[in-house]
Amino acid sequence: MKVTIVGTGYVGLVTGACLAELGNDVLCLDVDSVKIDQLNNGVVPIYEPGLSDVIERNREAGRLRFSTDIPEAVAHGDIQFIAVGTPPDEDGSADLQYVLAAARGIARHMNTFTVIVNKSTVPVGTADKVRDIVMRELAVRGVESQFTVVSNPEFLKEGAAVEDFLRPDRIVIGCDLDVPGLRAKSLLEQLYAPFNRNHQRTLFMDVRSAEFTKYAANAMLATRISFINELANLADRVGADIEQVRQGIGSDPRIGYSFLYAGCGYGGSCFPKDVRALMHTAGEQGMELNILASAEFVNEQQKMVLFDKIRHHFDHSLEGKHFAVWGLAFKPNTDDMRQATSRALIAELLRARATVSVYDPVALDEARRTLADDLDPDSYEGIRFSRDRDATLQGADALVILTEWKEFKSPDFAHMKATLKNTVVFDGRNLYDPVSMKKEGWTYYTIGRDAAKDGIGGGNGPFLP
């Protein structure tokens, strides 16, 4: 099938590359000629495991091309995907200008029946706005082409996007039940048929429900994280171990184990933005989403929980202290620093007149840029960026871990002990066993597992007969 993708950002690029991998003939369009030149020369502008290989393979096979030529791109696809950004406006609502510009671009050049599929994360009702714009453009041109607008939100996780696309749990498709809508449905059924061989994964629904589903999923996941984080903070106070609690509740299939890991807060491009956008949509309807407002509030506080532990440990005097910080990206396998906890925490440490040596396996360059924007030049001076993980420990008063990169999971503890000034770790991702850490002489701060450190309660480990 011939497919056009408008927008070669994160979602567009992954979608285009993976649809080509399935054997489709894909043309990706972008207004950014520098990016298109890079892609045509085999340079992939984002870090996403496996993506470069898929792009290279399909470019060589001639199934994946990149262009800035709108008429060529619109003429190419039986299906036109819109996959452009919807950054948050100042009031938290999704800014639709790029989506609407993409729709206008398609409308200005389409001459036959066209299926416009929205993959960007957009508020309920956006398909209607896209439809209006396309109708207006066609009227201006005096063209009477049939078209339909479909919603097909993505559920890709950064760092696992290729895998998520090629092995989806579900594919949500919202389309109308009129003749053009049903025609689109059958085209999309064909496009996604490879995923339905053993199990029906496509879920057809109406357009508004599909648009809503994306926000509902992210809002639910964000709420789950804030819920467990709040319980983790309580667990620390009452001497329970949140990891044992997670297992205790996760065994109930109505609850489940996943996405219930306590940590130093969620970040990234999706959860914070989508939670706010959904609250904004509710506000437009004169409604408040109280649970979501709390989820967001708890998350902002959660980003400071480690700082509070650090400050308390050092008797409220951090001036002149030096910290090693491992993990800067908002999560592993990405260089994305958007809404990362590291930004809030490092800023707070510097404000308290401490200094930091920071390390991340992938996000160091991105962190340099982001932190330079966040901080005034004097504070920025207090950061040492290091490509050598273990060198950050030299002379540090403690180690702070903010992202659960695999390479942090089994470090050389003996070397750490020999290098750090104090045997103190503040772990925002609960990477190590608190009981063993205590036995080995570490003062090990966690999120919801501090009981072992204090030698009380459930954190002493499972009961042995």
Q: Three-class SS of residue 260?
A: coil
Q: Which is nearer to ligand UDX, 1 or 205 (CB)?
A: 205
In the complex, what is the shortest distance from the CB of residue 256 to ligand UDX, in angstroms, rounded to a whole number?
11
The annotation status of 19 as a binding-site residue, yes or no, is no
CA distances (Å), origin 292, targets 138, 156, 216, 262, 286? 40, 21, 11, 18, 15
The annotation status of 100 as a binding-site residue, yes or no, is no
User: Which one from 28, 175, 264, 270 is the annotated catalytic residue?
Assistant: 270
Q: Cα separation of 150 and 118, whole Å?
A: 6
The annotation status of 263 as a binding-site residue, yes or no, is yes
In the complex, what is the shortest distance from the CB of residue 378 to ligand UDX, in angstroms, rounded to a whole number?
29
Taking CB under 6 A as the criterion, which residues in 409-428 touch ligand UDX?
none
Strands 398-401, 443-445: parallel, antiparallel or unpaired by DSSP?
Answer: unpaired
Taking CB under 6 A as the criterion, which residues in 246-265 touch ligand UDX?
259-261, 263
Q: Which is nearer to ligand UDX, 339 or 392 (CB)?
A: 339
Hey, which residues does 6 pair with through a beta bridge?
Answer: 29, 82
Hey, which residues does 443 pair with through a beta bridge?
Answer: 424
Q: Which is nearer to ligand UDX, 224 or 389 (CB)?
A: 224
Q: Cα separation of 328 and 249, whole Å?
A: 30
18 is catalytic: no
Q: Which is nearer to ligand UDX, 105 or 448 (CB)?
A: 448
The beta-carbon contacts of 131-140 under 8 Å, at least 24 apart in sequence, are: 133/100, 133/103, 133/104, 133/107, 134/103, 134/104, 134/106, 134/107, 136/107, 137/104, 137/107, 137/108, 138/107, 138/110
**CB-closest chain residue to ligand UDX:** 270
The annotation status of 341 as a binding-site residue, yes or no, is no
Q: Which is nearer to ligand UDX, 392 or 430 (CB)?
A: 430
Binding mask 263-302 for ligand UDX (x = CB under 6 A): x--xxx-xx-------------------------------
The annotation status of 432 as a binding-site residue, yes or no, is no
The annotation status of 148 as a binding-site residue, yes or no, is no
Q: Which of 157, 201, 311, 417 forms a contact with ligand UDX (CB under 6 A)?
A: 157
Instruction: Write the CB contacts of 288 (distance below 8 Å, at least 6 apart in sequence).
Output: 279, 282
Q: To 5 degrees, how large is the angle CA 12–CA 15–CA 21?
A: 140
Token pair for 70: 């709108």
Q: Which of 35, 331, 438, 449 forms a contact with ligand UDX (CB under 6 A)?
A: 331
Contact 35, 67 (CB under 8 A): no
Contact 150, 115 (CB under 8 A): yes
In the complex, what is the shortest distance from the CB of residue 352 to ligand UDX, in angstroms, rounded to a whole number?
24
The annotation status of 35 as a binding-site residue, yes or no, is yes
Instruction: Write the CB contacts of 383 (distance below 8 Å, at least 6 apart in sequence).
Output: 346, 350, 355, 356, 357, 358, 371, 375
Binding mask 124-143 for ligand UDX (x = CB under 6 A): --------------------
Q: Which residues are catalytic?
A: 270
Q: Which residues bind ligand UDX (CB under 6 A)?
A: 154-158, 218, 221, 225, 259-261, 263, 266-268, 270-271, 330-331
Residues of the binding site = 30, 35, 86, 121, 155-158, 214, 259-263, 267, 273, 331, 338
